[in-house]
Structure 1
Amino acid sequence: MNGSPPSSAASSNGSIVFVVDDDASIRDALSNLFRSAGIQVQTFASTAEFLQHPRAESASCLVLDVRLQGNSGLEFQSLLAQSNTNIPIIFITGHGDIEMSVKAMKAGAVDFLVKPFREQALLDAVSAALQADVKRRESEQQSSHLHADYQTLTAREKEVMGLAVKGLMNKQIAGQMNLSEVTVKIHRGHAMKKMHAKSFADLVRMAESLGVGLDR
């Protein structure tokens, strides 16, 4: 089976597509399609088999048949959401309807393709899904680093940072905390350095992401 080359996200090292379909011929066809396009793929005959597989450490997405033995694809989508398993899902089905597709998309599916679908449509959907997963992982990593940096601040530095991002001047912070203005400047400088903030505006954006100093 032939397809156009995938985007850089789809073909980047480590990115992988998981396929769950109880039809062996469909699994083989999709596996051949993705491999011919340079995309890593792993197939599963059931959702239970997929759940036994370790989660991918790199960008991934799930191509999921709507009608499966046991839990349906839509039920499995809900199960993954309840367990906070974040993976973009592309549904494929030979028996789709508008109500089903709307339900899947409202629940966060990347696409809903009815068989027979164009190979390029599936490759494009997979490319979009992998790009979305790359961005999610990068965002989560940045958030993790941000929280880690914040935990290196002392209690005083956290308090000064919280008051500063509310818009209080050093003199006001000093009065509220019963400190000298020089001490406040030192704590503020330490907070900036530990948070790796390039500017005060940068520190404010970090505080917003952390939910610090927002209780005005």
Structure 2
Amino acid sequence: MTHLEQRLAAAGDLQHRAEGLATEQFLMELVKVFHSRLLVACSFQKESSVLMDLMLRVDPNTRFVTLDTGLLFPETHSTWERLEERYGIRLEVHRGIDLEQQRLLFGDELWRTDPTACCEIRKVAPLTAALSTVDAWVSGVRREQSVERRSTKRLAWDPRNGLWKANPLAGWTERDVWHYIREHDLPYNELHDRGYGSIGCTHCTLPGAGREGRWVGTRKQECGLHREIPTVGDF
């Protein structure tokens, strides 16, 4: 059996056992399977604070990436800086085309006229570039966050990106997340204290419970990073 075949077999085995493992044990086995061919995507929402702390306890050499859309809230940048300072790390940053170039190509307010295209340029394309260097990635998606995310698996093959995707916090509740943050005194995005249940770019995020504040007034529900989840709500 080749090394690649061994990794695929190990990933498949972990997939079958994933739901029954404690979060830290799941992460330990995830690192054992994928080693350096694994990255963690950070959005600097509350789940990112938890994931970063958990991953660094398991593997101090964890590779973290973030997408700088050029439209992040000041509070998001502050959270980014505080997490880097706390753990003594530097995140790998991926960006889309320059905002001025986007304006010239697509008009002044692409986030309003075609939010899906804007997300594709500012988020999906940069993440795709980052994922081309690994065999698995980790996100903070939780089933409780929305109807669209309810069927999220803890570990699954991501066919659109051609790699494995892990969601270690899939079964965590909002209460679980906040308990962990407070128990470990973690930095977190202060917008959560101002009624923002979910936090994205400045133009497309308003206060609201859960994901209610995202893309208000449209049918859009997801940015497209989590390709297994429908981007448009059925309403």
State the TM-score bracket (shorter-chain normalisation). Answer: under 0.3
Q: Which of structures 1 and 2 has the bigger CA Rg?
A: 1
Relative contact order (alpha carbons < 8 A, sep ≥ 6): 1 or 2 greater?
2
- Normalised TM-score (structure 1): 0.28
